[in-house]
């Protein structure tokens, strides 16, 4: 009795080796454009696809490998039309950049005085390029630009509150885009979160009653991506400032997507700076 050889085994055995293909002139040209490692990965993926299905001809295999490589190397960011009705749309890149912003990006894309003090010719500090305009604009004592607000809160909590307690309203335990959750940010900073009040109602007395010798700061978190309405009560930033000053504590404000100018009830940076540390 003779065994029957599987057609799939025959097809798999007929496939060329990856090492053989990558050294052929046509694939060597791809290596020059995309690098040897990427070409080998693309060939390996194509051979595996043929092993599961049908073998391709030499020219078709080359075209598929090249198509895969070009697709992987192509820019992922594409221009789209915002027909959502939301002008500041996070998923669509928020606001379009102004002409002035685009001009500034063009300067940053070339040689610039990023860390060069033009007045003295000595090394400068990159943060100083923005700190002066920001302190002047908002009346702050100092300013530092970081990647996003979650990063700013993490740095502030780590530097000022690590190993101590931070009091925050239970109704302000937010999660923003990118899965940044306030409890997680607090834990990563090394500070201990103390929740007060309820989801819909938090009073000044709730903050007062939660203070201990280990309290380092009060934290206000702006619920920028949702609202709680109806039977609610919150403590204003001014009231929180009074509590913090009375007990010699810091007041930190997570402003979220606040505004530079009053608009649609959003808290402003100037108000935050006026009341907080």
Q: Would the pLDDT of 248 be above 50?
A: yes
Confidence at 123, pLDDT banded by 50, 70, 90: very high
- Quick one: pLDDT at residue 210? 97
* CA atoms 52, 56, 61, 63: torsion sign: negative
The better pLDDT of the pair 111, 148 is held by 111
Torsion of CA 273, 172, 225, 245, to 10 degrees: -10
Specify the 3-state DSSP secondary structure of 115: coil
| Mean pLDDT, residues 230-240 taken together | 93
Confidence at 178, pLDDT banded by 50, 70, 90: low
CA angle 63/66/69 to nearest 5° reads: 150
- Quick one: pLDDT at residue 94? 81
Question: What average pLDDT does the structure give for the chain?
Answer: 89
- Name beta bridge partners: 176: 180
- Quick one: pLDDT at residue 6? 43
Kindly state the DSSP code that residue 213 receives in the 8-state scheme.
T
Contact status, residue 27 vs residue 64, Cβ threshold 8 Å: no
- The string of pLDDT tens digits covering residues 149-172 is 888 999 999 999 999 999 999 999
- The string of pLDDT tens digits covering residues 54-80 is 899 999 999 999 999 999 999 888 899
CA pair distance 241, 222, nearest whole angstrom: 15
- Quick one: pLDDT at residue 87? 83
Q: Which pairing describes strands 192-196 and 165-169: parallel, antiparallel, or unpaired? A: parallel
- Among residues 269, 267, 268, 220, which one has the least CA distance to residue 244? 220
Q: Burial letters for 94-114: b for 16+ Cβ neighbours within 10 Å, e otherwise?
A: eeeeeeeeeeeeeeeeeeeee
- The string of pLDDT tens digits covering residues 201-227 is 999 999 999 999 999 999 999 887 778
Q: Could you tell me how many residues make up the chain?
A: 277
Q: Burial letters for 188-215: b for 16+ Cβ neighbours within 10 Å, e otherwise?
A: ebebbbbbbbeeeebbbebbeebbeeeb
- The string of pLDDT tens digits covering residues 38-59 is 999 999 999 999 999 989 999 9
Contact status, residue 208 vs residue 179, Cβ threshold 8 Å: no
| Mean pLDDT, residues 87-116 taken together | 90
């Amino acid at each position: 009795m003779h065994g029957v050889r599987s057609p799939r085994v025959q097809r798999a055995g007929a496939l060329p080796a990856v090492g053989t293909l990558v050294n052929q002139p046509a694939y060597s040209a791809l290596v020059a454009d995309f690098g040897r490692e990427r070409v080998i990965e693309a060939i390996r993926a194509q051979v595996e696809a043929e092993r599961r299905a049908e073998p391709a001809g030499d020219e078709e295999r080359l075209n598929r490998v090249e198509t895969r490589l070009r697709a992987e190397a192509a820019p992922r960011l594409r221009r789209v039309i915002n027909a959502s009705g939301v002008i500041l749309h996070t998923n669509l890149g928020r606001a379009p950049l102004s002409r002035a912003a685009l001009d500034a990006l063009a300067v940053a894309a070339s040689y610039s005085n990023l860390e060069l003090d033009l007045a003295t010719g000595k090394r400068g500090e990159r943060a100083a390029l923005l700190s002066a305009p920001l302190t002047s604009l908002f009346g702050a004592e100092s300013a530092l630009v970081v990647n996003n607000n979650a990063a700013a809160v993490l740095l502030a909590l780590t530097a000022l509150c690590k190993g101590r307690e931070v009091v925050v309203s239970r109704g302000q335990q937010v999660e923003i885009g990118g899965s940044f959750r306030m409890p997680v940010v607090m834990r990563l900073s090394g500070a201990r979160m103390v929740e007060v009040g309820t989801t819909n109602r938090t009073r000044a007395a709730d903050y007062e009653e939660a203070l201990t010798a280990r309290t380092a700061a009060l934290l206000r978190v702006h619920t920028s991506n949702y609202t709680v309405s109806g039977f609610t009560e919150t403590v204003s930033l001014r009231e929180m400032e009074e509590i913090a000053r009375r007990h010699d504590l810091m007041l930190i404000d997570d402003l979220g997507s606040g505004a530079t100018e009053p608009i649609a009830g959003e808290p402003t940076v100037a108000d935050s700076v006026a009341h907080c540390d």
